[in-house]
Structure formats: C-alpha cells, structure tokens
Amino acid sequence: MDKGKWLQYWTIFQSSRLGAIGSIILLLFVIVALAAPFLAPFDPDERVDAPFLPPGGDYVLGTNDVGQDIFSELLYGTRISLTIGILAALFSILLGSLVGIVAGYFGGKIDSALMRLVDLVLVVPFLPLMILLAAFIGPSFWNLIFVITVLTWASPARVVRSQVLTIKMKGFVEAARSIGSSAPTVMFRHILPGVVPIALSQFIMAASNAILLEASLSFLGLGDPLNKSWGTTLYYAQARSAFLTDAWLWWILPPGVLITALVIGFAFAGYSLEQIFNPRLRKG
C-alpha cells in the first residue's frame, strides 16, 4: 500500500475524537506498564504491613489479606494483563489472517474445509470450552495465551477471507498470477498488504477481548498464580471474602475499573480504525 494511502488514513485518524481518546488511554497504560518498577512504592510480593488496612498513609489502596500493598500489585498487574492481551491478540490475528488468506486465495475444497473449521470454532459454546481447555492444560502465562488464541482466531479469519476474495480479483493480482508467480508470492507479496489495514483493526478488537478473557480465566482461578494480573487480584479478593467486607472498595473496585478503562481504550481505538478502513462508516 502506498504512502499516500497511509497518510490519508492518518489524517482521518487525527480527526477522530474517539481515536484520540482511545490512543491516550492506551498510551497511559503502556507507560504505566513500562514504568511499574519505578512507580510502585513496594514490591508486590512483599508483606509491608498488617492485613486489610484501608487506604491511607503510605498505602494508596490499602493492603490485602497478607499485608501486601494493593497499589503496587495493580501497577505490576498492568504489565501482565496488557502483555497477555497484546500477545494473545497478535497470535490470534496471525493465525486467523493465515487461514483467511489461504482459504480466500485457493477457494474450492480448501476454502470449504477451512471455513467449516471456522464455523465449528464459532458455534461451539464459548465459556464451557474456555474453562475446560484452561483447566485441562493447566494455569501458566503461555497457556493462557494459547487458550485465548485458540478461541479467538476464527472471527478474524472470516473477516480476512472476505477481504481476500475482493483483492484477488484485482488487476495486479491477476497480472502476478499470469506471469507465473507462485501462490506464496502472490498471497504474501500482493494480497497481504491489502489485508493489513483490516487485520490491524481486528487486532485492536481482539486485544480488547483478550484482556477480558484473561481477567475472566484468572478470576475463576485458571490464571497463572505466579504472575499478579488484575484477574488474579480479583480472584484472591473473592477467595478471601472481600465482597463481604468493606475491603471490596479498595481491593475489588480498582482492578475492575482498570480493566474497564483499558477495554474502553481498545474499543475507542478499534472503532476509529474501522471508520478509517471502512468508508461506509465515515461521516459525510
């Protein structure tokens, strides 16, 4: 795709208020994730004081049931939650794009077989499959990413395939095929650049879903117990009956607000990108 097209996309993105708000939110979370060791007043695994201390003094959000600083825990949790969300979304888009490009380009039996697999993944009950798969392979950082990827690649594959069906009828693709270019060359040199914009918008939405899925799995006790994500914070708060005490105000509410804010940031940025890459969604 030429530079002029990307410049046009950038101009449209700059005029989008939702895109600006979403980008600012995401940038703030990235800064917090990178600077967590410098921003956190305590080691998140260190017992700093008595359990269940309310916010105040040296403890912005009080302490948990073992006397660890919740504020430090949430700062470090930003790194884990954001990393899992981005990596899971990246793998999901890469797998979905590969399946979509292959299915759309070759068509015929290959397309039918791959699309039936996509349909199968999409129609299987999502929540039971997610819990079953996560419980079967065990809790760990990479296992969480694997589960989220397996459950979320099918939707991007369908979207990318639709785009490929349009692109492969273009003149430059027909010309490349007529001069004897191999299938991998045509797919990844000529078709892939046209798929990148829509894959980018799908990545943003997939990252939003991955953040929620990680929090859900961790809240159910299927997350990595060695990494303090926002979901594991909610899990331990629920397990220690924080809902039944005033501790929910500083132990449950903050991670819930952070998850919501991050998802909103991704949603705003994703909606703005959809407006950019889909002219039908732009305002007149």
Tens-digit pLDDT profile for residues 12-48: 666 677 778 888 899 999 999 999 999 989 988 888 8
User: Counting every residue, how long is the chain?
Assistant: 284
Share of the chain above pLDDT 90, in %: 32
Between helix 126-137 and helix 141-152 the angle, nearest 10°, is 150
CA-based radius of gyration for the chain? 22
pLDDT tens across 79-122, in order?
999 999 999 999 999 999 999 999 998 888 999 999 999 998 88
DSSP state of 107: -
CB atoms within 10 A of CB 265: 23
* Residue 113 to residue 124: CA distance in whole angstroms: 17
* Residue 186 to residue 207: CA distance in whole angstroms: 29
Cα distances (angstroms) measured from residue 116 to each of 89, 107, 161, 195, 261: 22, 13, 13, 22, 36
* Residue 36 to residue 44: CA distance in whole angstroms: 10
User: Which band of pLDDT confidence, cut at 50, 70 and 90, is reported for residue 6?
Assistant: low
* Residue 186 to residue 38: CA distance in whole angstroms: 48
Among 170, 221, 216, 211, CA closest to 191 = 170
pLDDT of residue 13: 60
pLDDT tens across 246-255, in order?
777 888 889 9
The structural domains of the chain, with segments of one domain joined by +, span 16-49+57-281
Architecture of domain 16-49+57-281: Orthogonal Bundle (1.10)
